[in-house]
Structure 1
Amino acid sequence: MIIRTLTVLTASAALLAACAMHEVDYQGEGEGFVGEGVAVQARLETPSVGTAGQDAADDPAVWASATPVTIGGVRTRGFVAGTDKKAGLYIYGIDGAVLQFLPEGLLNNVDVTEGLSAGGRPQVVLGASDRTPGKTGVALYLFDPAGTAGVQPWGVITSDVVEPYGFCFARRGTEVHAILVGHEGEVRQFILTVDTIGKPAAREVRRFDIGTISEGCAADEATGALYIAEENVGLWRYGLDPAAGATRTLVQPVAPGVLVADAEGLTIIEDGAARYLIGSSQGDSTFPVWRIDGARPEYKGRFVVGEGAVDRVTGTDGLDALGGPVGDAFPEGVVVVQDDINDAGTQNFKYIDWRDIRAALGL
């Protein structure tokens, strides 16, 4: 893999970062405001998370299998993990139904990866930033596709970050990296391995500071890029290689009509030879999209999720996407987003067919 050397932050971007010293929520025209963007509709939704009347649902992660697996006694071709940041981790089916709930505490962002084996078999690994007092860091879980036990707690990566916030996995060759983003912009990057008795082991390989409150992160292994959203400043591209240090490029500053604070979740979807970065512009309930497989990210436009089979989406925090077949319902990929204001109850997650987004944006 070729790691591109990223340019140093420009003076104007540094000034912008220096001015953004405090968290600012919802820079649009009020709660539920939806900005301009091409319209799509969600195909289905999950039930409301269990914590009612609070900001609780936060971030999803999608995993798919070519063959059926068993979770909660149900045969499924994949799952969506979704955090209730007041209570724990939900495991949903491709149809949105709850398959499992793990009452694990104050989990914020969640991601999923492959590439590790435990107990003599390949495992699916889930990681979530954990703000539960006494165990702050990254909570880890295993799912054995060949088993029937569902998602099981595995261990924790301990960290000195006071309030773990954002989290994402990354692959660098055969290495599995776990990247934790603290509420105040502290970044800790670990290499995750399995020890001789099948437990997780983590070695910190990089730490740096973003500057102010940050959360969403997504890694593009093909170009060696790590994208991080600094909520009131903009979208940054770092090197995924730990040797890149804190060197970064400002991809998109917070600006009306493109990315409105808070800049929240980030995810990458592969569509054939193309790869797209999707962000959550929480301040105006839109989703900006960049094509990222070229020399530099290319902005392609924004979409909004309107009323349809289920209610519209507003104030999204976390989101995730997966290209290729995701069960029979999403043959070319799915985008799953948190919905802050859910007409049918408390917060939940909505599933959008990638084909609808691609057609709406003319990708």
Structure 2
Amino acid sequence: MAGHDIVKAARKGSAALLPALLLTACATTAPQAEAPRPRYAATDIPAQAETTPVGTAAADAADDPAIWRNAANPAASLLLGTDKKAGLYVYGLDGKVRDFSPAGALNNADLREVRMADGSRRILVGASDRTDRAEPRIALFALDGASGKLAVLGAQSFLKPGHAPAEAYGFCMGAPLAAGELARAYVVLKDGTVAESRLVDRAGTIAAEHLRDVKFATQSEGCVVDDATGTLYVAEEDVGIWKVPLAPATLSGEAYARVGEADGLVDDVEGLAIAREADGRAWLVASSQGDNAYALYDLASGKLAGRFRVNGGGLGGTSETDGIELIVGDFGPTFPEGVFMAQDGDNAPHAQNFKMLSWASIKAALGLR
């Protein structure tokens, strides 16, 4: 505003004053240097495994993981991860590629086991599809737990015709909230809008039907649903984590954790994951991307329970993490209590990949046993 007023005055005054006035205007509008981000204390924990790098080299490509636990044969469980330039990977617990679907620019992924209308069970995988930056879609797949192969079910548009252009960004799924649904899907648009849709079975074809929105002020991405309480958690990148109860007809957010609060989060706040253990304890993990760490909260109280970094060991650490996932339970001898999976933004000299840690090692390092 000051610069605008100065230039306007110069037009009315003497031409001899113009250079000095313009210099003053430039001085008032010069960008300020960005303050360095803090680096809070965190416990170093080495990775126990890693995936084969994604196929897109020399780019920010790997983004968000999902995990399917094979209850019948835990060691044969499967990991999924997006290459946001190219498609979706399936890995074994050894990190080797089992399948790849070249489905386009898929950013975030999640999965659910659902029961179709005919009674059959399906491992349903969904991802935010940003191939068309103006038309958000949900890319859907069926995962074969035995072979690790993906079957493409198609990309579903879900917003009503005539809506403003919007870019799909974050994605997560939750349990159905009404009869006749397979699941609820939440697409976080890049402007901070979270669009909720129900996924339904239409004669064997899964369709998305948009229901309602909740809007946050700035760019958001990470999200996760706690089925036990019917609550959605959303990461507004520069602000913190919001808690959204899903029972009310109108969605609204309550502050859960803020950037810089209690030395927990450094912006950007990225991926979120929830773990409920058999003893009743529940945790929320968030990627504190700004200081290459992960913040762990007691889910019910919102109190910070610890912070850790993936660092040390022969596989290298993680940095600039976007997506994360944590699933508890028996995953075989390497991951006896659960798997934590995190995108690694700098896996040089190779392309980006995902690192895996045992949940048991995280709890032991943070004294949570």
Q: Same fold (TM over 0.5)?
A: yes
Q: Residues of 2 paired with 1:149 and 1:335: CA distance? A: 20
| AA partner of residue 88 (structure 1) | G
Q: Residues of 2 paired with 1:59 and 1:332: CA distance? A: 22
For the pair 1:138 / 2:126, whether they are aligned, the reply is no
Q: Residues of 1 paired with 2:174 and 2:360: CA distance? A: 25
User: 3-state DSSP class of the match of 1:360?
Assistant: helix
Q: Residues of 1 paired with 2:127 and 2:107: CA distance? A: 7
Structure 2 length normalisation: TM-score? 0.83
Q: Residues of 1 paired with 2:214 and 2:233: CA distance? A: 14
Look up the match of 2:31: none
Residues 1-363 of structure 1: pairs in structure 2 closer than 5 A: 28=37, 35-68=40-73, 77-117=76-116, 121-133=120-132, 136-145=136-145, 148=147, 150-160=149-159, 162-172=166-176, 175=181, 176-196=183-203, 198-241=204-247, 243-246=249-252, 248-255=253-260, 257-272=263-278, 273-292=280-299, 294=300, 296-363=301-368
Structure 1 length normalisation: TM-score? 0.84
Q: Gapped runs of 5+ residues in structure 1?
A: 1-24, 70-75
CA gap of 1:328–1:27, structure 2 versus 1, over 3 A, is farther
Q: Residues of 2 paired with 1:240 and 1:250: CA distance? A: 15
1:297, distance to aligned residue in structure 2 (A): 1.9
Q: Which has the higher contact order (CA 8 A, sep 6+)?
A: 1
Q: Name whichever of 248-257 and 111-120 sits farther off.
A: 111-120
Q: Residues of 2 paired with 1:202 and 1:242: CA distance? A: 21
User: 3-state DSSP class of the match of 2:108?
Assistant: strand
Would the aligned equivalents of 2:257 and 2:302 in 1 still touch at CA under 8 Å?
no
| AA partner of residue 109 (structure 1) | N
Larger helix proportion, structure 1 or 2? 2
Q: Residues of 2 paired with 1:290 and 1:152: CA distance? A: 36
| AA partner of residue 55 (structure 2) | G
| AA partner of residue 359 (structure 2) | W
Look up the match of 2:9: none
| AA partner of residue 106 (structure 1) | A
Over residues 39-83 of structure 1, what are the superposed CA-to-partner deviations in whole Å (9 max), with x where a residue is unaligned? Answer: 1111010111111111000000001112249xxxxxx62111100
CA gap of 1:344–1:331, structure 2 versus 1, over 3 A, is farther
CA gap of 1:349–1:36, structure 2 versus 1, over 3 A, is same
| AA partner of residue 141 (structure 2) | Y
Q: Residues of 1 paired with 2:332 and 2:71: CA distance? A: 8
CA gap of 1:159–1:192, structure 2 versus 1, over 3 A, is closer
1:299, distance to aligned residue in structure 2 (A): 1.6
Would the aligned equivalents of 1:106 and 1:132 in 2 still touch at CA under 8 Å?
yes
Larger strand proportion, structure 1 or 2? 1
Q: Residues of 2 paired with 1:55 and 1:201: CA distance? A: 31
CA gap of 1:251–1:116, structure 2 versus 1, over 3 A, is same
Over residues 91-113 of structure 1, what are the superposed CA-to-partner deviations in whole Å (9 max), with x where a residue is unaligned? Answer: 01111100001111100000011
Over residues 291-310 of structure 1, what are the superposed CA-to-partner deviations in whole Å (9 max), with x where a residue is unaligned? Answer: 11x3x322212111112131
Would the aligned equivalents of 1:60 and 1:319 in 2 still touch at CA under 8 Å?
yes
User: 3-state DSSP class of the match of 1:357?
Assistant: helix
CA gap of 1:48–1:35, structure 2 versus 1, over 3 A, is farther
Q: Residues of 2 paired with 1:88 and 1:264: CA distance? A: 20
- Root mean square deviation, CA, Å: 2.3
CA gap of 1:201–1:27, structure 2 versus 1, over 3 A, is farther
1:129, distance to aligned residue in structure 2 (A): 0.3
Q: Percent identity?
A: 40
Larger radius of gyration: 2
CA gap of 1:349–1:27, structure 2 versus 1, over 3 A, is farther
Look up the match of 2:16: none
| AA partner of residue 37 (structure 2) | G
CA gap of 1:328–1:204, structure 2 versus 1, over 3 A, is same
Would the aligned equivalents of 2:135 and 2:166 in 1 still touch at CA under 8 Å?
no
Would the aligned equivalents of 1:44 and 1:309 in 2 still touch at CA under 8 Å?
no
Would the aligned equivalents of 1:40 and 1:357 in 2 still touch at CA under 8 Å?
yes
Q: Residues of 1 paired with 2:303 and 2:231: CA distance? A: 14
Over residues 165-210 of structure 1, what are the superposed CA-to-partner deviations in whole Å (9 max), with x where a residue is unaligned? Answer: 00000014674110110011111101111111x1112222211211
Would the aligned equivalents of 1:128 and 1:138 in 2 still touch at CA under 8 Å?
yes
Q: Residues of 2 paired with 1:119 and 1:53: CA distance? A: 45
Q: Residues of 2 paired with 1:187 and 1:266: CA distance? A: 15
User: 3-state DSSP class of the match of 2:313?
Assistant: coil
